[in-house]
Amino acid sequence: MSAEPRTTQSRRRWLAMMSAGLSGLAALAVATPVVGFILSPLWKRAPRIWRDVGPVSDFAIGSTVEVAFADSSPLPWAGVTARTAAWLRRMDATNFVAFAANCTHLGCPVRWLPDAKLFMCPCHGGVYDSAGRVTAGPPPRPLARYDVRVREGRVEIRTMPLPTA
């Protein structure tokens, strides 16, 4: 019976320790952004800001139009993606309602079909009625609504984070 030379055992041990150490570093490198993503809502809340979308006179009573405005928390490098949209409907002389332009299923942009009086999601067939309620497809909730106000003859929408989850 011959025993392994001492150098082979120490080399194996060193390689095992290096392998364990590098595996730990790789796990840490993967886990850090995941933990940051999970915990980020706890310390960073997007501000809710009133954004001007136009004068009251631009919106006909009973019509539903898409309006665009700046996101409440754009990143410095966001560029055109810092813009978001909503579907704005003028109910009467002073009342407006605004729906998120994103489906509550996976966030695809919904479109308004005025002849059918429905919001349609082209991704997976989600259908919402004119009040934003789900009527068909996979969406789990109605369309999110934005707060709307009229101030000094201008329509303003109160921003919020992308309402999908």
Domain boundaries of the chain, sorted by first residue: 1-44, 50-158
The SS3 of residue 145 is: strand
Helix (H) or strand (E) holding 14: helix 6-43
Q: Give the pLDDT mean for 83-112.
A: 92
Q: Could you give the CA distance from residue 113 to residue 41 in angstroms, rounded to a whole number? A: 35
What is the phi/psi pair of residue 73, to 5°? -140, 60
* Confidence category of residue 164, pLDDT binned at 50, 70, 90: very low
Q: Is 82 helix (H, G, I), strand (E, B) or coil?
A: helix
Edge-to-edge strand list for the sheet holding 118-120: 111-113, 118-120, 127-128, 134-136
Compute the average pLDDT of residues 115-119: 94
| Dist CA 64 CA 78 (whole Å) | 28
Considering the chain, what percentage of its residues have pLDDT values greater than 90?
Answer: 55
- Let me know: does 105 contact 139? Beta carbons within 8 Å: yes
Average pLDDT over residues 140-162: 90
50-158: which CATH architecture?
A: 3-layer Sandwich (2.102)
Residues, the chain: 165
pTM: 0.69
Predicted confidence at residue 165, as pLDDT, reads: 44
Give me the pLDDT at residue 38, please. 76
